[in-house]
Amino acid sequence: MKNLTEGNEAKGIFVFVIPMLFGSVFQQLFNVVDTWVIGNYIGKEALGAVGASFPIIFVLISLIVGISTGSTVIISQYFGAKNKEMVKLTIDTTMFFLFWAALIITVIGLVFSKQIFLLIQLPPELMSDALLYFNIYLSGLLLLFGFNAVSAVLRGLGDSTTPLYFLIISTILNIILDLVFVLVFHWGVAGVSIATVIAQGISFFLSVIYLNRTHPLLNFSLLRIRFDKTLFLKSLKIGIPSGLQQTFVSLGMVALMVIVNTFGTDTIAAYTIAGRIDSFALLPAMNFSMALSIFVGQNLGAGSYLRVKKGYIATLKMTTAISILTSVIFIFLGKFIISQFNHDVNVIDIGYEYLLIVSPFYFVFSFMFINNGLLRGAGATLIPMFITLFSLWGLRIPASYFFSEIMGTQGIWLGIPIAWMCGGLFSYIYYKKGKWERFVIVKGEDMM
């Protein structure tokens, strides 16, 4: 377990985030490999169908995943305060909640899947493959929630390395199964989805076995699990704003997908490819943000306010440098990268158009996420939620719709950096006011 309350702030955060970043890269490879196999061996129609499925999946899971961040904050602060019994009880409560939430979401998604795709105006020629992929993916949702829950717990306790090992194994397995199911068995979109579910399931079971054999503090069993109503309500108090924020962000992705869908299969396929590439560019900011949240949680729990501000500045510097480098690479090599996923000239041109408009603003996205990471670590999640919602629904979606009417597909992408710039500005203003400090749950030796 990593103690982030001592030593050089920048070095501590960097060392802690590296395994998390590699883990996220391997996790993203699930989607990227799926996209590559589909785009090269099945076709752009199947690629568009799978791409249209992901925003819907994110809507179904984002509220629960966001709520669970409240538990991560509490775990990190109790760990910083060295209260192991409360850490264990918080973990049990989180696992209990996620188990039942996964079951409920799976049932809802399977029952209403077709109605959902009709609602977002998915082109008829993509409907069959989209439903097939979506329903198979949802069938493995319990496994996905389980592994993400275990990983979040370990990160809250300062262990960001162990989840990486399981992800590497499952990602390699996913690649192998993708190729076997599609190229050998010719299962098409179904094969890609089945491969992902199997790989996620293995990640979850390996992580549970690891916990039960090596971490008595985290020993997990459905038969012995405890649920604490008070802790759960405190987790909800912190997590609901983040959960609602992620839900409305994912709904924003769906709204953007509706606009994209009106431009046809080529645009949907291009957006799917560019989105996968884009996701890699955003990973450093997202992981540094999570690392900073844990750093902030532990140091506020230990009463080290000065370290919090030093860690914030150091994280900003690191993510800005990475973002600028990534932008340069995508501007010069973006068309070549997109061509590796599909050889259709129109798809490549539209995808590269996306990167040219969005990638120069990656440093703005990083700035926004690091600000939010600090606020989440302190437990101040309500104001960032409103900032995100305004940036998304007040600016991004209207701007994308308005400019798409004038500029076509270029106008869709233009709304993305507009939202980032406003979100980053508003979150920074809130940070500078310092009101987030009053949300700290554990102060020094003070227990809840």
Q: At what angle do helices 124-139 and 141-156 cross, to 10 degrees?
A: 60
| pTM recorded for the entire structure | 0.80
Task: Decide if 3 is inside a domain.
Answer: no
Top-confidence range, 92-106, 147-161, 230-244, 342-356: 342-356
Q: Distance (Å, rounded) from C-alpha 322 to C-alpha 87?
A: 34
Q: Distance (Å, rounded) from C-alpha 208 to C-alpha 225?
A: 14
Q: Distance (Å, rounded) from C-alpha 331 to C-alpha 179?
A: 30
Q: Is the pLDDT of residue 378 over 80?
A: yes
C-beta separation of 60 from 105 below 8 A = yes
Q: What was the pLDDT predicted at 84?
A: 77
**Percent of the chain clearing pLDDT 90 (strictly above):** 49
Alpha carbon separation from 182 to 42, 45, 177 (Å, rounded): 8, 15, 8
C-beta separation of 444 from 302 below 8 A = yes
Degrees, nearest 5: CA angle 294-104-228: 50
C-beta separation of 142 from 178 below 8 A = no
Q: Dump pLDDT digits (tens) for 34-47.
A: 899 999 999 999 99
Number of H helices, E strands in the chain: 15, 0
Q: How confident is the model at residue 294 (pLDDT cuts 50, 70, 90)?
A: confident
Q: Is the pLDDT of residue 198 over 90?
A: yes
Find tokens 């690392």 and name the residue: 291
Q: Is the pLDDT of residue 443 over 60?
A: no
Q: Distance (Å, rounded) from C-alpha 251 to C-alpha 244?
A: 10
Q: Distance (Å, rounded) from C-alpha 448 to C-alpha 444?
A: 11
Q: What was the pLDDT predicted at 446?
A: 40
Alpha carbon separation from 327 to 268, 343, 413, 420 (Å, rounded): 23, 23, 15, 15
Q: Dump pLDDT digits (tens) for 395-429.
A: 999 999 999 999 999 999 999 999 999 999 999 99
Q: What was the pLDDT predicted at 447?
A: 35
Task: Decide if 427 is inside a domain.
Answer: yes
Cα–chain center distance at 368: 15
Task: Decide if 444 is inside a domain.
Answer: no
Number of domains within the chain? 1
Q: Is the pLDDT of residue 216 over 70?
A: no
Task: Decide if 445 is inside a domain.
Answer: no
Lookup: tokens for 163: 């989840």
Give 232-273 as a DSSP string.
HHHHHHHHHHHHHHHHHHHHHHHHHHHHHHTT-HHHHHHHHH
Task: Decide if 4 is inside a domain.
Answer: no
Q: What was the pLDDT predicted at 49?
A: 93
Long-range contacts of 335-342 (CB under 8 A, 24+ apart): 337/277, 338/270, 338/273, 338/274, 338/277, 340/36, 341/35, 341/36, 341/39, 341/40, 341/47, 341/273, 341/276, 342/39, 342/40, 342/44, 342/47, 342/269, 342/273
Whole domain around residue 231: which residue ranges? 9-439
C-beta separation of 392 from 419 below 8 A = yes
Lookup: tokens for 186: 């010719």
Find tokens 């409560």 and name the residue: 93
Q: Distance (Å, rounded) from C-alpha 257 to C-alpha 116?
A: 12
C-beta separation of 76 from 152 below 8 A = no
Task: Decide if 1 is inside a domain.
Answer: no
Find tokens 């439903």 and name the residue: 131
C-beta separation of 235 from 376 below 8 A = no
Task: Decide if 2 is inside a domain.
Answer: no
C-beta separation of 14 from 88 below 8 A = no
Lookup: tokens for 259: 């606009």
Q: What was the pLDDT predicted at 116?
A: 92
Query: Which tops the pLDDT comparison, 437 or 6?
Result: 6
Task: Decide if 448 is inside a domain.
Answer: no
